[in-house]
Amino acid sequence: MEKTSPIMTLRSVAKTFGNGTVALRGVDLDIVQGKVHGLLGANGAGKSTLIKILSGAFKASGGTISWRGQPVSWDSPKAANDMGVATIHQHIPLVPTLSVLENVFLGSTGAWRLASVSRKRFDELCERVRYWPDPDALAGDLSIGERQMVSILQALGTGADLIVMDEPTASLATDERELVYATVRQLSKVENKAILFVSHFLDEVMALTDQVTVLRDGEAVLRAETSTLDETRLAEAIVGKQIVELERAAEARIGPSAASGTPRLELRGLSSPDKLMPVSLSVAKGEVIGVAGLLGSGRSELIHAIFGADKDAVGDVLLDGQTLARSTAASVRAGIGLVPEDRMGQGLVPEFEIWRNLTLPALQGVSAFNMLPQPERERERGEEAIRMLSIKASSPDILVRELSGGNAQKVTIAKWMFSDVKLFLLDEPTAGIDIGAKTDILRLIRKLAGEGKTVIIVSSEFEELLAVADRILVMRDGKCIAERNVHETSEHELLLLAGGQGPKGQAVNGSGKAAGH
């Protein structure tokens, strides 16, 4: 029957990049018309690469793709789009200076470009999804949820039969998510569209999808009907065992307590409008706090608020009992170092050498009279960092942009190690790097804790948090919904909590406890 026939079939699809990175290792995928197919996987599992291949942005290194039973090899997203494949990307690529109407029909030609015709067509699209934005509003003035819905209208406007949605609800409020859910159901069940729905949220995957594929380390480790699964089975498939076991005894590790003596860090009602609900927390010297949460959960917003980078944040941040002024400069002076998620865009100067990047936060330590930087001393510091962190570079004169991701990340951490940093804020410090570099960085975090430094680490990979943290906070929708000692929790529980489920599938309330307890 047509409604259940595969509209797209992938067989043994592989992708190896020019630098030798293997992103996909022979993935099979069947996307069926009239069905919602969930695609899940941890950060780095291969989801983004797979999406780019089936939408025409990347060429596969091996395997075959069939569209409506015929082999295809698209050389551009436009070619895929012309055949009926539309992709709604996580970072919504609308043109902010154009109107909603102009964005919806951005790629259209011919009669649709006429005002009267396009407005009539726009009204028809809105009626189909039961959503009516102002066609003359500028895209740049829309909320994230409104932009997401305009992207869906844009995809429909192309006449697509397969719509790929990459994390469509990651940054949306609850009411906006419900609107997306209703639209997905309308498109699949009523209009017979095929939907590939990429999400981290287990509750919405269970509620929305008909079939699920889970990727891990570039392979499809689970392919099943959603009705045969539960959240625990999904969590087990997503998590796997991805990192080399650290030489630790996490189950027995009880970290230092902030209750004894002055806490290194105190948060008192730290919040930010529309980003972060009030958080109060005490962290001891030498303690490592992990922050678990899915995309859009508020985890990065928390550490940016601590660092003073969020100008709208309110509440108090105390370091060693002293209340900090709300600015990044004050935080750095007090002894806080931030390693941002976007290491090249925010953490490093790519065109500078290793040594020049390392000394930017603490030039006084390599300057004569604390005024005149001395390149020889700066290079010595670069050589020391290369030795300390096993940075793979022939000399400190290598430009940072020439380093691998893992080695560049080591530089972003090392640049704070030569300052009097008491508190390290690490946002996804192991994202996009190989397993050897990950293990080096996780060992370094425990070393810093052993030296009395305090570390707060955000990571999408919960097994990493269990490897290095003493306590773990779980974030969802801008709220801290749970706190766990590392030896009292598991990867499965953290994934269930972050995905909106407590143990045994119970919904989680704002206190982090299972609803009804």
Give 42-72 pLDDT, tens digit per residue: 766 788 899 999 989 999 999 999 999 999 9
| Structural domain boundaries, residue 368 | 351-415
Q: Which pLDDT belongs to residue 91?
A: 67
- pTM (whole model) above 0.75: no
Q: Which two tokens stand for residue 482?
A: 């749970």
Give 186-208 pLDDT, tens digit per residue: 889 988 999 999 987 788 899 99
User: Is the Cα dihedral 119, 120, 126, 129 positive or negative?
Assistant: negative
| Cα–Cα distance for residue pair 427/276, rounded to 1 Å | 16
Which of 198, 213, 239 is the endpoint of a domain? Answer: 239
Give 448-502 pLDDT, tens digit per residue: 898 899 999 998 878 889 888 999 999 999 999 999 998 888 888 888 888 876 5
User: Does 399 reside within a domain?
Assistant: yes
Q: Which two tokens stand for residue 125?
A: 């699209």
Is pLDDT of 509 > 60? Answer: no
| Cα–Cα distance for residue pair 153/155, rounded to 1 Å | 5
Which of 212, 239, 266 is the endpoint of a domain? Answer: 239
| Cα–Cα distance for residue pair 143/481, rounded to 1 Å | 25
Give the count of alpha carbons within 13 A of 311, CB side only. 0
Q: Which pLDDT belongs to residue 121?
A: 85
DSSP-derived 3-state class of residue 323? strand
The answer on 360 and 235 residing in a single domain is: no
- Residue 184 vs residues 36, 154, 192: alpha-carbon distances, Å: 8, 14, 11
User: Does 203 reside within a domain?
Assistant: yes
| Residue 234's CATH number | 3.40.50.300
Q: Which two tokens stand for residue 107?
A: 């790629």
**Around Cβ 7, how many Cβ atoms within 10 Å?**
22
- Least Cα distance to 77 among 100, 64, 59, 103 occurs for 59
User: Does 246 reside within a domain?
Assistant: no
How buried is residue 4: exposed, middle or buried, by Cβ count under 10 Å (0-12/13-18/19+)? exposed
User: Does 477 reside within a domain?
Assistant: no
User: Does 145 reside within a domain?
Assistant: no
Give 403-453 pLDDT, tens digit per residue: 766 677 787 777 777 778 899 999 888 765 655 567 778 888 888 898 899
Q: Are 128 and 162 in contact (CB under 8 A)?
A: no
| Cα–Cα distance for residue pair 390/385, rounded to 1 Å | 8
How buried is residue 347: exposed, middle or buried, by Cβ count under 10 Å (0-12/13-18/19+)? buried
Q: Which pLDDT belongs to residue 479?
A: 93
Give 226-236 pLDDT, tens digit per residue: 999 987 788 77
The answer on 184 and 44 residing in a single domain is: yes
501: which DSSP letter?
Answer: B
Residues in the chain, overall count: 517
The answer on 362 and 229 residing in a single domain is: no
Q: Which two tokens stand for residue 508?
A: 């989680």
User: Does 201 reside within a domain?
Assistant: yes
Q: Tally the domains of the chain.
A: 2
| Cα–Cα distance for residue pair 433/410, rounded to 1 Å | 10
User: Does 11 reside within a domain?
Assistant: yes
Give the count of alpha carbons within 13 A of 308, CB side only. 18
The answer on 232 and 357 residing in a single domain is: no
User: Does 497 reside within a domain?
Assistant: no
Q: Which of 70-79, 118-127, 243-252, 358-367 has the highest mean pLDDT?
A: 70-79
Q: Which two tokens stand for residue 274?
A: 């529309």
DSSP-derived 3-state class of residue 47? helix
Q: Which of 240-249, 254-263, 289-298, 360-369 has the highest mean pLDDT?
A: 289-298
**Around Cβ 207, how many Cβ atoms within 10 Å?**
11
The answer on 172 and 26 residing in a single domain is: yes
Which of 210, 239, 268 is the endpoint of a domain? Answer: 239
**Amino acid in the structure at residue 209:** T
> Phi first, then psi: what are they for 24, rounded to 5°?
-135, 140
Q: Which pLDDT belongs to residue 44?
A: 67
Spell out the residues 6+ positions from residue 69 whose beta carbon is closer than 8 angstroms to its own. none
The answer on 367 and 231 residing in a single domain is: no
Is pLDDT of 303 > 90? Answer: yes
Is pLDDT of 381 > 50? Answer: yes
